[in-house]
Structure 1
Amino acid sequence: MQSLVSQPARRLAWRRHAAAASLVALVALTGCVVAPVQPRFVGEVVRVAPPPAQVELIGVAPTPGDVWISGYWGWAGGQHVWVGGRWETPRAGYYWEPHVWVHTGIGWHLREGHWARR
């Protein structure tokens, strides 16, 4: 018994299905693009550079494996205010990016400390 659909018509239908599947896969994968994390600036632009970091006495970690998160100069009430360090349990696959003051053309911005993926 002979097929009702010719060989060239079957090839054309297969190519259309393959093209449609490729297009669907391409559209799905474009949603998987991960944009790089931009620095997060907190608060206002500060005209005065932060003072040198304070010396902190670091005791024994409360739990084995905890990491020390150093203190930093924050900004409150129109002046730099010291925020003391602390112990934290690290997240698996992450490392701590410390708080840092970044100087730009218009002043100083505080970039928040955060856990970043390795």
Structure 2
Amino acid sequence: MRFVTATRIVFTAATLLAASGVFAQVGPPPAPQYEAVPAARAGYVWDPGHWHWAPARARYVWTPGHWQVERVGFRWMPGHWDGPRWIPGHWVR
């Protein structure tokens, strides 16, 4: 009976640990790097550079700005941080 109880306790603990997941607290990204915005290009909108978390490197990595092909009837919403969460750039009507 003791073996069954001990087995049940170990199994329950292992199940709870597996279901809980592991989360690491990572600080905010560094301040944005200065990028000179290039002269406007017809048919394109500028998407500014931003920091993104690179798990393989365990640090933030700078992604430089780039041009997005313009979509008629839409407005480009640049990516931005919403607290600890990165919201990628996207088109909105």
TM-aligned CA distance change 1:85 to 1:58, over 3 Å: same
How high is the sequence identity, in percent, across the aligned residues? 36
Are 1:91 and 2:71 counterparts?
yes
Q: Give 5+ residue unaligned stretches, structure 1.
A: 1-43
* Offset at residue 89 of structure 1 (A): 2.2
Distance, in Å, in 2 between the alignment partners of 1:45 and 1:110 is 16
Match of 2:33 in 1: 54
* Offset at residue 87 of structure 1 (A): 1.4
Secondary structure, aligned partner of 1:101? strand
Match of 1:114 in 2: 90
| Higher RCO (CA < 8 A, seq sep 6+) | 1
Distance, in Å, in 1 between the alignment partners of 2:25 and 2:63 is 17
Between structure 1 and structure 2, the one with the greater Rg is: 1
* Offset at residue 50 of structure 1 (A): 1.3
TM-score normalized with structure 1 length = 0.51
Q: Write the letter of the residue equivalent to 1:85.
A: G
Aligned residues: 69
- Root-mean-square deviation (CA, aligned residues, Å) is 2.1
CA contact (8 A) 1:50 1:101 kept: no
TM-score normalized with structure 2 length = 0.62
Q: Write the letter of the residue equivalent to 1:88.
A: Q
Q: Give 5+ residue unaligned stretches, structure 2.
A: 1-22
Distance, in Å, in 1 between the alignment partners of 2:25 and 2:49 is 19
* Offset at residue 97 of structure 1 (A): 1.2
CA contact (8 A) 1:45 1:109 kept: no
TM-aligned CA distance change 1:85 to 1:78, over 3 Å: same
Note the 1:1-118 alignment, pairs <5 A.
47-61=26-40, 63-76=41-54, 77-103=57-83, 108-117=84-93
Q: Which runs of 4+ in 1 moved over 6 A?
A: none
CA contact (8 A) 1:46 1:109 kept: no
